[in-house]
Structure 1
Amino acid sequence: MQRAVSSKPSKVRKREVYNAPLHVRSKRIVAPLSKELQEKLGIKRIRVRKGDKVLIVRGSFKGHEGRVTGVNTKRERIYVEGAVLRKADGTEVPYPIHPSKVIVVELDLSDKRRRELVEKRKVGGGQ
């Protein structure tokens, strides 16, 4: 016998978020740009990538600035150098941070495709 699936809107939205495939989840790993970058590039937000420099604006690491060392698409979290937890045995583990809690200060534009994406979004004025 099959269980009934709720049609309550709030539960449906949660089901869509937590059961989303990775290619959809990766589109949610987006952070706003700093005011200077917004004026320079003409865009407000961008997907966060390894190598970008970010400023943490919320949580216990508020005010910390560092490079993104990793992106976890499945958990929708990023890892910033210097934002680590010290375990009881003394080892350090990277602390997962939600991308909406950071501001991108410097972009890694070494990749040709990313430079083209920024140019396209600047000219097109949309997403």
Structure 2
Amino acid sequence: MAGLKIRRGDRVMVIRGNHRGQEGTVLRVEPDKNRVVIEGINRRKRHMKPSQTNPEGGIVEFEAPVHASNVMLIDPKTGEPTRVRSQVGSDGKRERVGVKSGQVIPKA
């Protein structure tokens, strides 16, 4: 399996599913499950019993993971969603490049 081209802190747009068209920042990446958690997207509620860590219990709201194939990286230069390819830069390090603009996407 190839590595994910999405990293924590990237701006992404959801391209499939109930949240199609919404944008958010990646909070967490789960490469083993090929999923990402996006701020404000796919919010779920869970009823929790009181415990030592959460003495009140109650209803807890959280962002559930979304499959990485359902999101697209937003090119910071154009603000448009774009596919990403990898290339070796002049300094010999691998860098991400937006396919539409051809610009290097900096690390978030």
Same fold (TM over 0.5): yes
Percent sequence identity over aligned pairs: 26
Structure 2 residue ranges without an equivalent (≥5)? 48-57, 77-90, 103-108
Partner of residue 92, structure 1? 61
Residue correspondences, number? 74
| Paired amino acid for 2:67 | H
CA RMSD of aligned residues (A): 2.8
Partner of residue 64, structure 1? 22
Q: Matched residues in 2 for 1:53 and 1:64: separation?
A: 11
Structure 1 residue ranges without an equivalent (≥5)? 1-23, 30-46, 108-112, 123-127
Q: State the Cα deviation string for residues 66-114 of structure 1 (Å, max 9, x = none).
A: 000000122110000002212234212221111111111145xxxxx9x
The list of structure 1 runs, each at least 4 consecutive aligned residues, that deviate by more than 4 angstroms after superposition, is none
Asked if residue 54 in structure 1 is aligned to residue 12 in structure 2, the reply is: yes
Name the stretch that deviates more: 90-99 or 63-72.
90-99
| Paired amino acid for 1:100 | S
| Paired amino acid for 1:79 | V
Name the SS of the counterpart of 1:68 in structure 2: strand
| Paired amino acid for 1:117 | E
Q: Matched residues in 2 for 1:90 and 1:65: separation?
A: 25
- Which structure's residues are more often helix, by fraction? 1
Please tell me whether Structure 1 or Structure 2 has the larger radius of gyration of its CA atoms.
Answer: 1
Change (3 A) 1:90 1:69: same
Q: 1:52, 1:106 within 8 Å by CA — same for their partners in 2?
A: no
Asked if residue 117 in structure 1 is aligned to residue 95 in structure 2, the reply is: yes
Q: Normalising by the residue count of structure 2, what TM-score does the alignment of the two structures yield? A: 0.55
Q: Normalising by the residue count of structure 1, what TM-score does the alignment of the two structures yield? A: 0.48
Partner of residue 71, structure 2? 102
